[in-house]
Structure 1
């Protein structure tokens, strides 16, 4: 067993231990399926033994179960526990197991050292977050379930031997650290909650009710909050633990002794009952209402206005869900509670809370079919959150902004539904647009901020931003002398800022669909999908006429959910089955999306189609889905449109990139086979290079990140990357194009998943030497007409991110300045990709001129050519490029030359159309202009 493989096993085990859910475990295993073999099972078993010997029995049991499950998957029966040394059936420990033991021992010491550092920092700083949080931020790789186990084990052993006074001090520090980690904004919330719960439960072994009643009650209260927010474990059990902890806390935190804390605990107890899973739903809601009501007896509007408003909002939710009593009466009570909350939760003073309550109230009106009331309330709520985006990012950072966007996208979805109920189709699509790709649009605007606004306007906007941020901070932190007056002043500043800003912005929240529609070519049609919880929407847009909206049935939405799950499961776990069934799967997708029905809404004169997917629809080759389902000779969507089928992230981003006029297409920058293992890449780039007047090709070992950084990319009209690619679903910023000299010869003992990539078994790459998405965002491609990513999975996006769905390598190059990006949706075939790319560029240069739709047309023609290519046609293609092929073969090593020639022979042994399977031709898409 080589050291690289052994290290790869260890890396995978650590990644699995850091997972926050069963689904995440399955995703990690699927992404590393080449490592899951007998050697991996042995490594897991060795890790389980080490964990058990060190006292981490929960970790050991989890690892044993993992070994059993994966052994079944491999049709093996793994040995789930090793005999004791010198036992009757003992066996020698292999060098692999000893190596893993040493690695685990080193990890144990690292965790222990970090634990001591963080507890010391908590104690010495008196729980100062400004001291502790930077230390946590530097060690997020250790904030996981393993750390929680280490904390629990160390504290249990230490407290058992500590003097009483020392034990009290240790418990206090651990409790304070738990408070800090529970509210730590970075890394995994799931792991942070586990650490906090471990800390509180440890503290309670010292803080008994009889000896330290106040500390015991306070810790029970904190434990209840942690269980309420817990992500891991069964939700029902977590809520029961929270109820038990809050109930225990109330034994000491009585109304007479601690009125404010008592009321807060009652409010939190009410929340737990409201969302309780066990027991009778009706009874739980009544318990919640009772808890909120008694809390309001103490948290009055005059004494505790903010808390009073929060409890009123919660009470409104409870009445909305109430089962007992008259429905009409409960609705009136809910409306009254929300309305009361809004008396304090004003837009000017508490805009985010204001929006939350408005959203609840609007949803209530929507649910009782009072759509005009819902529309008016949602309008106010959306106006508030849109005016806040700049303030959120300036005060709380990009991560807070993303989380806010995830939450408020639910509001946009409801508004879209209400608009459609009221027949406001144009407004519906405007709200669809305002909920999508907003972060990317803002980043593009920010890059050109100083050029969009005149200097004096830019300066004034910066002043508004600073004044609003300072004032908002003063109000929310109780530092304003007259909050009401300041709140009114801030609202005036917001209005003035928005009015000034919108004079110069053509996109964003100022996006007007009418002006966008008028800018369309009369031969262009757009299909924009929008996925709701219970239906699929498709907006059909052309230059003239009203927007047409197609809506699916609920069963179609459920069928789509099942289809997506099956597709992704096959793609990640059963590649052969995925490949062989791809054509059948696309036919099923066409039926679910009712594409034939949607196409009837497109005028016959429209010969160019732009697709705007939503969420996971970005992952699939919609241009290749079959049409005319009832016909034996059905073609695909691509065949219907002579002007091509292209993709765009949104209408507003399409409008943005259409403003990029790039008529020149004469110079090429290319990356060619940096890892030297792509047998057909050299042919591909060599042929493509011949079409351009000037070119700069970084070949093989010369294709390094340093070389790219030393190249002025801003002078080229086309950038072509022919290499390996990798999409990182958990951290899209680390998605990358793999470059030369990034392969690590000696893998570090403790590889950082943020820095290293395991592309294949035994191969680890240093992401700092690759072109990652984060680096792409910083590029300047202001003369570029086209970026082609001739690599695997370069078109995938973070479909799980509901705050801004279009985050991937294409978005990086669009932000960098290119109006068009060609990229791939899966791990493509090396040979067929080379043929496709050669034909694509050949088509580009045989078109009369390079205008807006030509890239889509050229790609379409290349894909149809490859799909319909016969063995005889392949022979003619090879003959046409015989000089380039001979030149490439001469440069290859003997083994590579044999592989090159043998693969061509195997293709000729296939059926008459060797590339007819969509796998070979449908994987690439043209995005942008």
Structure 2
């Protein structure tokens, strides 16, 4: 029997089948699909045979081939083609299993995983999880000794998927990818599978390059060692595209290398990039060629050897070559990266008009299109690059003498970046609702806007804008010596403990002792007090009509509350209501005095059952408000909290007294701890909570005001932005693990002022000054002055059933403290809370 093929419409009448004929068909229609027209012709042949072949093994093989063609189909119907492919793979899997036909079963599942990964419809995160499930099934059911190559391929592909994964902890995903690659390399040895070994080793090297766990320098050295080993093995193979990819990846590793001589590392990077170009020519590999051109542009900008002017000229040339392929229309994310790198190069040459043009182009792009690019991690990197370019644009406009335009570009750009972040979090973007003029402060307010350039050696520009200062509404203060490197030395972790802000912070987290952190706070405050002296002079000269100071921090300065500066403690906290700026500048509802007749509060307190002061805090707030709802202890599950917020209607106050957690490298995983160990994550706040524009959110919890600042140099991305994105007027939150006892006092005083109708920033300022200055005997007398209902609510003895759990009002006073001494004078107790709007 044989197969005769002619006009597909006559196939039913002319088909005569045998196994060899079907094999011939599959061989003819297999291979890469070169275009939609060619693919449709192949599908017609397969469909003609499928219509007459009975269901069984041969029918299943045809279904697999049909699915393989559909997955590759280009054109406007690609989404439909992939859906059809998934259906065809499902049909094929009915006739094979790991017991009866393990090879066919594994190959079908592997191809199915590719279809899920390429799927256009549905949520990308869910599609990737389905793809990973297919690969995991192969690894679980296939015998690695009987089918080593298929099993190892499933492990290597699963490693790739973990690196692309959107859900879960990124740190854990990278570790699981490393584990899968290592499993694959037990089979893919240089002797048995040299090509597959090189590919898998290169992917493992990349995983080490981006690894979060472990020592950064050691990870990079492991990555380079793996890459060099794979390259040595590859030398015996043809110089193909995998060889070029290895050289390109090694170039990037050397460019980022910590160990060794920096100048020599850059030279090694350039050498590897140039080797990659021996294979990746523009004619046949335009995208890869452009990638290497971009990398060479970055490397020459960082080059220490040779003539500096010539290096910058070559950097510009390579980046412009990359942009000849990486156009905004075809490759918007690559275009943004290369434009950012070009702006850095032009900044070093002092070509300010060109830097300004690039920055304005990127800000227009950010406003129009970035929310539709890639996954969230990819978008965050792109948004970070856009934010850094915006700062270069601000510097360029200022260098050309246009201070008002530079300030407006900075503020408007920050608003655009925040809206892009909110868009990436799939929210409606309520952040700037009601903004009348987001680029300049209203009367009675001054704005301090910091702008850290993404280059070392540049003085820190600080803008002071004030409509009341008619003679000079925008001033520029250059803080000499306080560049990005200087800020990193103050805040970033170093080899010696307690030497920086984050060193002391780490001791606080690990040991629970605030002493080291307090010392670090004092050192940083003393240094900044001197560095910011020119700024204090400008603030002292502001008109007396200015009563509110809005501060837009930049970089690591977002970790430091201005209220604890010694200069600030004398001149700022005593004179101004302080607000940390996010987005536009006219979110007026945050600063309006509250109607004392409206008292709608929803409080969530002590969900984890280990914060008795927080439980008392929730009880006491309930006694203050007539229209109040509370979720205490085990009742405060995540779902109940979400349901309570959605049913509450317009709220004046949403109060959380609980544990908070900030994830430094991955702020989207930050959240509030709810009952049962659940976490109300930042992404869920953005996606599932909607608040009224009058709602003040108070996060009486640890680390709720910390924000990502390394990838996002000028903006804040953390829990505060999430609640603002959900519609809140302002958020009061903390910058470090706060004391449960002093926080309870601060919160009670805060709500006393709020209850009297004071605006959020004014109430926080008053409560902080009161706690800072109050002697111990005054704190004791406060208890006697409380409303009896509030005082009774603060006694947890009845709730806990044990005298040992009874709350103390003044807890940190050692016996024999001198009368009149202030037990909470240190900024650790009160300065950590900030008002963000």
Under a length normalisation based on structure 2, what TM-score does the superposition of the two structures give? Answer: 0.69
SS for the counterpart of 1:531 is coil
Deviation at 1:523, TM superposition (A): 1.9
Distance 1:832 1:279, change over 3 A: closer
1:527 corresponds, among 442, 448, 472, to 448
Find the counterpart in structure 2 of residue 789 from structure 1. 699
- Relative distance call for 1:335 and 1:899 in structure 2 (3 A) is closer
Evaluate the alpha carbon distance shift between residue 202 and residue 178 of structure 1 in structure 2; reply closer, same or farther with a 3 A threshold. Answer: farther
User: Does 2:535 align with 1:600?
Assistant: no
Distance 1:805 1:429, change over 3 A: same
Q: Does 1:230 align with 2:208?
A: yes
For 1:118 and 1:832, locate their aligned partners in 2 and report how far apart those are by CA, in whole Å.
65
Alpha-carbon distance in structure 2 between the residues aligned to 1:905 and 1:329: 63
Matches within 5 A, 1:718-797: 718-729=653-664, 732-733=667-668, 735-738=670-673, 742-743=675-676, 765-767=677-679, 774-775=684-685, 777-782=687-692, 784-797=694-707
Deviations 1:263-317 (A, max 9, x none): 6666556656766788887777667666656765665444443344334444444
Matches of 2:535 and 2:658 in 1, distance apart? 40
Aligned residues: 693
180 and 678 in structure 1: CA distance in 2 versus 1, 3 angstrom threshold: closer
Unaligned runs of at least 5 residues, structure 1: 1-112, 209-214, 453-504, 629-633, 744-764
Offset at 1:638?
Answer: 0.8
Cα separation, 1, equivalents of 2:186 and 2:300: 38
Corresponding residue of 1:361: 342
1:540 and 2:464 aligned: yes
* Distance across 2 between alignment mates of 1:561 and 1:782: 36
Partner of 2:582: 649
Deviation at 1:126, TM superposition (A): 3.7
Cα deviation digits, residues 805-840 of structure 1 (max 9, x gap) = 533333333223221222233343444333333332
Quote the residue 2:25 is aligned against: none
Deviations 1:354-388 (A, max 9, x none): 33333333322322333333333444455445543
Structure 1 residues 839 and 397: CA distance shift in structure 2, 3 A:
same
User: Is 2:234 aligned against 1:253?
Assistant: no
Q: After the TM superposition, which residues 411-490 of structure 1 pair with which residues of structure 2 at under 5 Å, given as runs?
A: 411-433=389-411, 436=414, 438=416, 440-442=418-420
Structure 2 counterparts to residues 702-717 of structure 1, below 5 A: 703=636, 705=638, 708=641, 709-710=643-644, 712-717=647-652
Find 1:860's aligned residue among 758, 765, 785: 765
Which residue of structure 2 aligns with residue 869 of structure 1?
A: 774
Equivalent residue, structure 1, for 2:831: 922
Rounded to whole Å, the distance in 1 between the matches of 2:634 and 2:269 is 66
Are residues 247 and 594 of structure 1, via their aligned partners in 2, closer, same or farther at CA, if it must alter by over 3 Å? same
| Pair 1:584-2:576 in alignment | no
Which whole-Å CA distance do the structure 1 matches of 2:223 and 2:626 have between them?
66
Task: Give 1:856 deviation, angstroms.
Answer: 1.8
**1:305-454 matches, cutoff 5 A:** 305-317=286-298, 319-320=300-301, 326-384=307-365, 386-392=367-373, 396-433=374-411, 436=414, 438=416, 440-442=418-420
**1:899 matched residue in structure 2:** 806
How far apart in 2 are the matches of 1:570 and 1:897? 29
Q: State the Cα distance separating 1:526 from its structure 2 match.
A: 1.6
Change (3 A) 1:246 1:408: farther
Q: Give the match for residue 129 of structure 2.
A: 137
* Structure 1 residues 875 and 119: alpha-carbon distance in aligned structure 2, compared to 1, 3 A threshold: farther
- Once residues 660 and 572 of structure 1 are traced to their aligned partners in structure 2, the CA distance between those partners, rounded to angstroms, is 37
Kept in 2, the 8 Å contact 1:716–1:783? The answer is no
Aligned counterpart for 1:568 among listed residues 483, 490, 505: 505
State the distance in 1 between where 2:831 and 2:307 align: 57
Instruction: Give RMSD over aligned pairs.
Output: 4.8
Aligned CA distance change for structure 1 residues 359 and 667 (closer, same or farther; 3 Å): closer
> Whose helix fraction is larger, Structure 1's or Structure 2's?
1
List runs of 5+ in structure 2 lacking aligned partners: 1-97, 118-124, 212-217, 493-499
* Alpha carbons of structure 1 residues 140 and 404: separation in structure 2 relative to 1, 3 Å: farther
CA distance in 1, matches of 2:251, 2:520: 50
In the alignment, is the contact (CA less than 8 A) between 2:604 and 2:657 conserved in 1?
A: yes
Mapped to 2, the partners of 1:658 and 1:420 lie a distance apart of 31
For residues 237 and 410 of structure 1, what CA distance do their matches in structure 2 show?
30
**1:418 and 1:858 mapped to 2: Cα distance?**
39
Structure 1: distance between partners of 2:370 and 2:322: 23
Find out whether 1:614 has 2:551 as its counterpart: no
Q: 1:840 aligns with which of 726, 750, 763?
A: 750
* CA separation of 1:403 and 1:196: change in aligned 2, threshold 3 A: farther
Change (3 A) 1:899 1:664: closer
Cα contact 2:733–2:833 (8 A) shared by 1: yes
Contact 1:531 1:615 in 2 (8 A): yes
**Contact 2:447–2:464 (8 Å) recurs in 1:** yes
Pairwise CA distance, 1:864:
1.7
CA distance in structure 2 between the partners assigned to 1:248 and 1:206 by the alignment: 7
Matched, 1:557 2:487: yes
Separation in structure 1 between the aligned mates of residue 733 and residue 251 of structure 2, nearest angstrom: 51
CA distance in 2, matches of 1:193, 1:843: 52
Distance, in Å, in 1 between the alignment partners of 2:793 and 2:338 is 69
Q: CA deviation at 1:892?
A: 5.0
Deviation digits for residues 866-896 of structure 1 (CA, Å, limit 9, x no counterpart)? 2222244334423222734357548455634
Q: Report which stretch shifted further, 178-187 or 785-794.
A: 178-187
